[in-house]
Structure 1
Amino acid sequence: MDDARSLESVRTSYGTRAADYITALGSITQAHPDDVALIQQWAESLDGPVVDVGCGPGQWTDLLRSMGVEACGVDPVPEFIESARDTYPGARYRVGRAERLSVDSGTLGGVLAWYSLIHTAPEHIGAPLAEFARCLRPGGGLALGFFTGPTVEPFDHAVTTAYYWPMDTFTAEVEAAGLTVTRTAMRTGSGHRPHGALLATR
């Protein structure tokens, strides 16, 4: 499937199930405390505005805003943007996509992409990563959350096809985009798919 059709599939699938997703994951209290702590620590090190790519219902954007970060949430699903504006009105939100953030080069202090690239096919993963690198200022930071596994492979996610990534493979993709990976973390647990997190700087 080409990138445009894949994006439309993701947008349609999430739009159809937006209410269920918002109920299940739309509050920061539903996030794993280790993830909240990691992103808070990461955000404290940033200087400049941050774009929360694939912001969904806006819970992570609002967390950043609560820390005094100039945060903007971007998501391709209009239903999520509408919910974010209603539920977390303190931050800015707009419809957009990871491959085209519509910001000037070298202007962002940070990009948060927490599980927002899980549906991007491996052959297309370089495009959003290159866009993140373009938008970050020198010293700016990237935080990624994703599903990790021993090989790059698709699986049947509840919404639409998603992908597992080995940590070293995803690290190589991020560094190929011009970023330096500074920290990685993995977590497994009963009833949950293996989690990976990665921090990088421009």
Structure 2
Amino acid sequence: MSDDDGGHGRVRASYDTVAEEYRKRIGGELAFKVMDRALLGVVLEEAAGGTVADLGCGPGHITGWLGERGPAVGVDLSPAMVAVARREHPGAEFRVGDLLALPAADGEFAAAVALYSVIHLEPGELRPAFEEMRRVLRPSGVLLVSFHLGTEVRTLDEWWGHRVAVDFRSLETDTVADLLTEAGFTVTARLERDPYPEEAPTRRGSLLARRT
């Protein structure tokens, strides 16, 4: 997308810029994220051997973890992130794409996860993004969405020594749940937790929802 497309071009360029550093700093995070692994395990059981999509996959560490346990596809806005993911996790499939126009067929995936990727969307883009996620899920497919809790919008122009231009939007659980419901999901589980010592100091929210 271009820089005029709702800021998505700026997000893409920012993640292209930090892709290698991001992998170094974040790529091993599942080792200490016990609760995240448990939630991903739920998603895998719900998928029952079907393909799981990792939407906003970054350097592909979540996709790679999923791919060791079943078929998985990672999607990310940043071509540089996708290049890193393909290099680091050659056993999984990766595609470049936007959350508002996913490169996938209707009903292609048994389940999907969107871990801290919707935080870069404008408020008015959340419901369309969830509707797009619903489109690519099979009937009764599950979606796991995780996000930073709150109402803050944090704008970065420097990230790990690199010049960037990206907003991080904290979200409220009820707001996300309502938007998922409006988009055609039934929310089946909610989780809020404190950060791990290794994480940025923000509370985290996760919602598990089923396509209706």
Q: Gapped runs of 5+ residues in structure 2?
A: none
- Aligned residue pairs total 198
2: CA distance between counterparts of 1:8 and 1:106? 27
Structure 2 equivalent of residue 119 of structure 1: 120
1: CA distance between counterparts of 2:60 and 2:184? 28
Structure 2 equivalent of residue 66 of structure 1: 68
1: CA distance between counterparts of 2:19 and 2:173? 29
Structure 1 segment 50-129 matched on structure 2, within 5 A: 50-68=52-70, 70-129=71-130
2:191 matches 1:185: yes
2: CA distance between counterparts of 1:30 and 1:18? 20
Task: Give the percent of matched residue pairs that are identical in Structure 1 and Structure 2.
Answer: 35
2: CA distance between counterparts of 1:39 and 1:26? 16
CA contact 1:148–1:196 (8 Å) conserved in 2: yes
Structure 2 equivalent of residue 36 of structure 1: 37
TM-score, normalized by length of structure 2? Answer: 0.87
**Once structures 1 and 2 are overlaid, which stretch shifts more, 83-92 or 3-12?**
3-12
2: CA distance between counterparts of 1:35 and 1:174? 20
CA contact 2:57–2:75 (8 Å) conserved in 1: yes
CA contact 1:111–1:141 (8 Å) conserved in 2: yes
Shift of 1:31: 5.2
TM-score, normalized by length of structure 1? Answer: 0.91
**Once structures 1 and 2 are overlaid, which stretch shifts more, 107-116 or 25-34?**
25-34
* CA deviation map 1:74-114 (0-9, x unaligned): 11111111111111111011111111113222232011111
Structure 1 equivalent of residue 47 of structure 2: 46
Shift of 1:17: 1.4
Secondary structure in 1 matching 2:117: coil
2:154 matches 1:155: yes
Letter in 2 for 1:53: L
Letter in 1 for 2:153: P
Change (3 A) 1:171 1:100: same
Structure 2 equivalent of residue 25 of structure 1: 26
* CA deviation map 1:38-95 (0-9, x unaligned): 1112211214222111110101101111112x11111111111111111111101111
RMSD, aligned α-carbons:
1.8
2:194 matches 1:195: no
CA contact 1:3–1:124 (8 Å) conserved in 2: no
Structure 1 equivalent of residue 179 of structure 2: 173
Change (3 A) 1:31 1:123: farther
Letter in 2 for 1:163: R
1: CA distance between counterparts of 2:31 and 2:80? 20
Q: Gapped runs of 5+ residues in structure 1?
A: none
